[in-house]
Chains A and B, each alone.
Chain A
């Protein structure tokens, strides 16, 4: 399992989650956890996904997610989970 954190930050609009999930499913990326919150009026979503079977390399995967974000006027980032674990867990 290769855990990756996908974050979506932006103005809330119809279909954001649907579009991201469709992309993930289309590339054999399994969603392990999903949570969302509103901070300062902005929609924040975080997904923990497993990219072990992802059909694309990490670079392409994260760039394509970024593009989807741009189309929907929000920022989508994919980052390996390690950076968060290292920072917040001893």
Chain B
């Protein structure tokens, strides 16, 4: 039988160290909604989402209550809309109507984000893919909860550099469309290389075409718990450090697994995967950067940071896979700047630069995340940053992403406030040397040699 110290340890994690389940994300396939009539398509999408997800939020709350663990977000991901809208949408504005329908459905069922306003163009863009991509700035400016993502490359296909070039422009246009709100549209837009089909985390969640009609995916969290656990092994060697990370990741993930199974049972929707992620929030102590400091780095970004992140990411996975039979999504450690107070402090202290962040993305679970840059950054420069990140993903056979916010009207030294889980961010300087001639070449970068495994 469970003893009092174990009970107290769990409750201490929840109450003092911000242990929570970060998200229950309900994936819904919209392939059966496809219609060539735009009005009918909108209606079918709305009805499908509001019927499948009607009990999602109440079920999440009931589980929170019974187990005493906060479930911070209840969210929905849908089939990439470029596929769903292909036969009905003739213009980018037609796609915007679908975004508005998604937003309306999200509000009706009470979730706080809906992901899947997406296109998968890792090798080439269809006409409808391109229309959806061109509609993104307007779609994100006219909705509150819709998140958008575009997969620009993969290890198997190489990089679609035409799409990389286009996305540089789209990111900047999205920033301009939402300039009045500190370009917040870009916080809901992410580009990927090797995008997973079952990621529960926003802004990049979508319900992949390899998935069933409906699925429950759960994202766990717990940087605060990890930092606290590492307090007890200060000055111990790396073996002890790794063992502690692994054990803690196991405990965190088991809670996620319990919640996922319970939600799946109550909603009668199959369980998909647990995303074993350390996802920080702006709350004090709930920070990946704080873990680095606990490991012995003065600040995130100091020499040694990439090694620290590599071991953290790897041990989180090793502990996590033991705790759940099905893991997937992004799984690892997130290093968003604005959503992590320790990372913000590191940038403000001059310890963490864009280039160091890029190096860190070689070993973390995602990529450049929630990075604010000056609003006058050239679109080709943004494409260049995206291309670098995509190349890291392609060559290293991992997911990489870019969520970059050129804040219109602001420059280096200023800060931008997004509020809530998105936090605030200091605007970081960007390398001023030009890459336009490189980006403007167009075409594709071929798949790397190690992708030919057949």
Q: Which of the 9-residue segments B3-11, B289-297, B372-380 touches chain A?
A: B3-11
Contact status A44-B69, CB under 8 Å:
no
Set of chain B residues within 8 Å of A7, measured between Cβ atoms: 7-8, 11
Set of chain A residues within 8 Å of B10, measured between Cβ atoms: 83-84, 87-88
Q: Which of the 9-residue segments B59-67, B184-192, B398-406 touches chain A?
A: B59-67
Q: Which of A9, A39, A80, A88 contacts B6 (CB 8 A)?
A: A88
Any chain B CB within 8 A of the CB of A48? yes
What is the bound-complex CA distance between A86 and B260, given in angstroms? Answer: 13
Contact status B251-A87, CB under 8 Å:
yes
Q: Which of B1, B8, B258 contacts A83 (CB 8 A)?
A: B258
Set of chain B residues within 8 Å of A35, measured between Cβ atoms: 3-4
Chain A interface SS verdict (over half) = strand
Which of A43-90 touch B at CB < 8 Å? 44, 46, 48, 58-59, 62, 77-89
Set of chain A residues within 8 Å of B255, measured between Cβ atoms: 83, 86-87
Least CB distance from B319 to A in Å reads 12
Q: Mark B1-24, 1 if CB is under 8 A from A, else 0.
A: 111111111110000000000000
Q: Total number of A-B contacts with CB less than 8 angstroms? A: 63
Contact status A85-B2, CB under 8 Å:
yes
Least CB distance from A3 to B in Å reads 9
Least CB distance from A62 to B in Å reads 6
Interface size class of B (residues with CB under 8 A): 20 to 34
A46-B65 CB under 8 A given contacts A86-B254, A86-B257, A88-B2: no
Chain B CB count within 10 A is highest, among A44, A58, A62, A84, for A84
Any chain B CB within 8 A of the CB of A29? no
Contact status B258-A86, CB under 8 Å:
yes
Any chain A CB within 8 A of the CB of B419? no
Contact status B2-A5, CB under 8 Å:
yes
Least CB distance from A50 to B in Å reads 12
What is the bound-complex CA distance between A79 and B68, given in angstroms? Answer: 6
Any chain B CB within 8 A of the CB of A36? yes
Contact status A81-B65, CB under 8 Å:
no
Contact status A33-B1, CB under 8 Å:
yes
Q: Which residue of A lies closest to B12 (CB)?
A: A39
Contact status B4-A46, CB under 8 Å:
yes
Least CB distance from B258 to A in Å reads 5
Give me the 7 closest cross-chain CB pairs, A-B, nearest first: A79-B68, A86-B254, A46-B4, A88-B6, A83-B67, A86-B258, A84-B2
What are 19 residue pairs bridging A and B, where the CB atoms are less than 8 Å apart in the complex?
A5-B2, A5-B7, A7-B7, A7-B8, A33-B1, A46-B4, A58-B66, A59-B62, A77-B68, A78-B68, A79-B66, A79-B67, A79-B68, A80-B66, A80-B67, A83-B69, A84-B10, A86-B254, A86-B258
